[in-house]
Every structure is written in C-alpha cells, then in structure tokens.
Amino acid sequence: MSKARSSFARSGFVHLALGGYTLLALFPIFLVISNSFKTRAGIFSAPLQLPSPATFSWIGYQTVLKQGDFLGYFQNSLIVTVVSIFLVLLFGAMAAFALSEYRFRGNLLMGLYLALGIMIPIRLGTVAILQGMVATGLVNTLTALILVYTAQGLPLAVFILSEFMRNVSDDLKNAGRVDGLSEYTIFFRLVLPLVRPAMATVAVFTMIPIWNDLWFPLILAPSEATKTVTLGAQMFIGQYVTNWNAVLSTLSLAILPVLVLYLIFSRQLIRGITAGAVK
C-alpha cells in the first residue's frame, strides 16, 4: 500500500538528504587519506584531486615511519586494549553471573553499586587515581592504563551481560547441577558459550573508548615507552605542524586500524546498539 504511494519525488528527497549527509561524514576522512599520498606541491595545488602520477609520493609515510616510533605505539595500544577487554569480559561476566544466578543478601544493592559507574565518568577521580598510581609505582606502565580501563568498562559490561544471563535456561543449569558439575564448570562450560554474542557486543563497546582515549595516557603513561597511538599521534602532529606530508600520513596511519576494525565489526556494533536500545 504505502509502497505504491511513495512517489519518485519523495524517495529522491530522502536519498538526497541521506546521501548529502553521508558525503559530509566521509569527505573529510577521504580528503586526509587521499592527500597523504601526495607531494607537498600536490597537497596545496590540488587538494581535492586524487593522487596522480605527477603528485603521488610516499614522502609523508617515510618521514613518519623513520622518525616516529609508530609501531611501538600501535603495540602499546593493542596490548592495553586487548588485555583490558579480556579482563572486562571475564570479570564482568563472572559478576553478572553471580548477580543474575544466585539469590543472596545484598544482591540488588551490589547490582546498583556496580551500575553507578555507567553514568559517572571515571575521569573525575583522576586526581586520586594518579596519587594511587604514583604510590604503587605504576605510573608510566601499561598496567596502570589496563587497570583504569578495566574499571571503566566493568559497569556497562555487568549491566548488559546480566540482562542476557537471565535469559539462559534454568533447566540447562539445573541439569548440570544434577550431573554433579561445580558452579564454576556450569559458568565456564554451559553459560559463557551461550552468551557469546552479547560478549562480542560488549567487547566492541568497550574497545572504542579505550583505543581512542587521550586523557589517561596523557596523565598516567606519557613516557616514550608506554605511549599509545592516540597520544603518539597527538604529540607527533604537534611537532610537525608545518610538515603537512607527515601530519596527513600520521592521521591516515591512526585512522586505518580503526577503519578496518569498523568494517569488520560494524554489523556487530549496530546490532548491539539496536538490541540494547530496544530494551
């Protein structure tokens, strides 16, 4: 019915609006990546053109890879992100299981306590976090970042995962108990595999803010050996404000991993947002 009624003009308007905004969203990213492959003259004389044989050049990437320790930054970001996600998922799932599976005194209160952190940003505790990290000698270690990001990711992970764990069939778990399985075995062998899709969603949600964070690397781990990509790019670009080749190449190098991850996980991410928001 409504399909027959929708006119050409209307669908034309819809595509014009969405297409126009898509252009606005993608154009800046495209502009930076395309110009990173040009000579300096090419960047300035024809910024909107694709690299041509006359303007193509690797000079920006050569500068960046020769002078910056970019691979090291990537490694740091990767370690911090992967370990934090692993801990958030493991500890978050364990706590979510305890909260959704067992009745005990203080259950509801514990759930609320853990949910507090969803709305209150951990950044506001920075003053005392830095003090604590200095006192324990963890400043300028990746461990400090991992601890902070694990604490930051736990509230949302517990919240989402306990919603999902309530839906795991009781019959299955009780069957396991009748067979004499321990509670740990039930959790790791029966429940965890069943909530795997929810874990993937939580992982994507946790990953983005960790990978992109500038505040904590800047304050807790600014040393050369522990810099993350975000902080490294920030400092590096700061030094090369006038070297446009290097700046554009640095930006492209920092965009690419996120872009690749997004293209792989975008369906998971979008499904997660839609599933979470419908609730």
Of 37, 61, 159, 211, the residue at the interface with other proteins (CB under 8 A) is 211
- Rounded to a whole number, what is the distance in angstroms from the first to the last CA of the chain? 30
Its sign, for the CA torsion 77, 83, 86, 90, is negative
Q: Judged by CB, which is closer to other proteins: 109, or 193?
A: 109
| Stretch of 56-64, 65-73, 193-201, 211-219 lying at the interface with other proteins (CB under 8 A) | 211-219
Q: Judged by CB, which is closer to other proteins: 223, or 274?
A: 274
- Applying the rule CB under 8 A, the residues between 9 and 68 that interact with other proteins are 11, 14-15, 17-19, 21-22, 24-26, 28-29, 31-32, 43-44, 47-48
Least distance between other proteins and beta carbon 11 (Å): 8
Q: Does residue 80 bind other proteins (CB under 8 A)?
A: no
Of 80, 85, 98, 198, the residue at the interface with other proteins (CB under 8 A) is 98
Which ranges of the chain would DSSP assign to H, the alpha helix? Answer: 2-5, 8-35, 40-45, 59-67, 70-101, 107-119, 126-135, 142-165, 170-178, 183-185, 192-194, 196-212, 215-220, 229-239, 244-278
Its sign, for the CA torsion 39, 44, 48, 49, is negative
Tell me 37's DSSP state.
T
Of 85, 147, 199, 220, the residue at the interface with other proteins (CB under 8 A) is 147
Least distance between other proteins and beta carbon 52 (Å): 18
